[in-house]
């Protein structure tokens, strides 16, 4: 399979987290994709892997934010002109807020990652992709991925008496987004 090639509702979306930040300054999508291949391994208390790649899937996501680098264009009024000029401004790395259905046991691994550097993979697929399938070198379903490095900055739990208990998970992006990329089937 390759990239998603049709438009329809019901696209499956996933956010996978790799616990170790890549060491290279510039990294290609293929190198990012290789980080997410392998089974989850044991971790030490400070989050280092022991032997194999350690990655997690953000549990029970209710809402994803926009994924990508925001525009860095600023409208500047020009004296005596009816139209503003657009100039390139400063573009800060975006932060993103996800809303998840909060179950403390499911979110335990994410709490352990708070404040630590990590690599993130945002994946969209036509059909469901299990965490084990997502850790394969190839995925048979059409999929599109974006990668970035950042941190889980905060997790704010929102208890509710009338709805599911949710949490706002704030992620910071420390690099540009790399993608779109597809984990193609053989």
Please tell me the predicted confidence (pLDDT) of residue 171. Answer: 92
pLDDT number for residue 50: 44
Domain architecture of the chain: domains with CATH: 12-181 (2.30.110)
| pLDDT 10s digits, 121-154 | 999 988 888 888 888 888 888 899 999 999 999 9
- Whether the predicted pLDDT of 92 surpasses 70: no
Low-confidence winner among 10-14, 48-52, 76-80, 101-105 (lowest mean pLDDT): 48-52
Higher pLDDT, 173 or 6: 173
Question: Which DSSP string corresponds to 54-72?
Answer: -EEE--SEEE----SPPP-
Please report the pLDDT score of residue 75 as a whole number: 76
Q: Quote the tokens at residue 30.
A: 């293929």
Phi, psi values for residue 32, rounded to 5°: -60, -45
- Whether 167 shows a pLDDT value over 90: the answer reads yes
Return the number of other C-beta atoms located less than 10 Å from residue 124's C-beta.
Answer: 19
At residue 81, does pLDDT exceed 90?
A: no
Preceding amide of 180 cis, omega within 30: yes
Q: What is the mean pLDDT of residues 89-117?
A: 84
Count the residues in the chain: 186
Express each pLDDT in 15-57 by its tens digit.
999 887 776 776 888 888 888 887 554 444 544 444 344 788 9
* Phi, psi dihedral angles at 104 (to 5 degrees): -55, -40
Contact 74, 89 (CB under 8 A): yes
Please tell me the distance from the alpha carbon of residue 172 to that of residue 44, in angstroms, as a whole number: 24
What are the φ/ψ torsions at residue 101 (nearest 5 degrees)? -75, 125
Buried/exposed 136-171: b ≥16 CB within 10 Å, e otherwise: eeebebbbbbbbbbbbbeebeeeeeeeeeebbebeb
Average pLDDT, integer, range 170-181: 88
């Amino acid at each position: 399979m390759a990239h998603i090639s049709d438009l329809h509702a019901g696209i499956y979306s996933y956010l996978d987290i790799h616990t170790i930040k890549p060491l290279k300054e510039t990294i290609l999508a293929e190198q990012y994709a290789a980080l997410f291949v392998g089974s989850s391994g044991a971790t030490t208390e400070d989050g280092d892997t022991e032997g194999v790649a350690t990655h997690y899937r953000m549990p029970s996501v209710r809402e994803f934010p926009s994924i990508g680098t925001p525009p860095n264009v600023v409208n500047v009024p020009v004296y005596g002109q009816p139209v503003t000029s657009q100039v390139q401004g400063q573009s800060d790395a975006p932060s993103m807020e996800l809303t998840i259905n909060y179950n403390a046991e499911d979110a335990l691994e994410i709490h352990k990652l708070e404040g630590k550097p990590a690599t993130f993979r945002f994946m969209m697929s036509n059909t469901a992709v299990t965490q084990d399938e997502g850790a394969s070198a190839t995925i048979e379903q059409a999929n599109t991925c974006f990668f970035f490095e950042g941190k889980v900055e905060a997790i704010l739990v929102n208890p509710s008496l009338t709805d599911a208990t949710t949490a706002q998970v704030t992620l910071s992006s420390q690099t540009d987004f790399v993608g779109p990329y597809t984990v193609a089937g053989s």
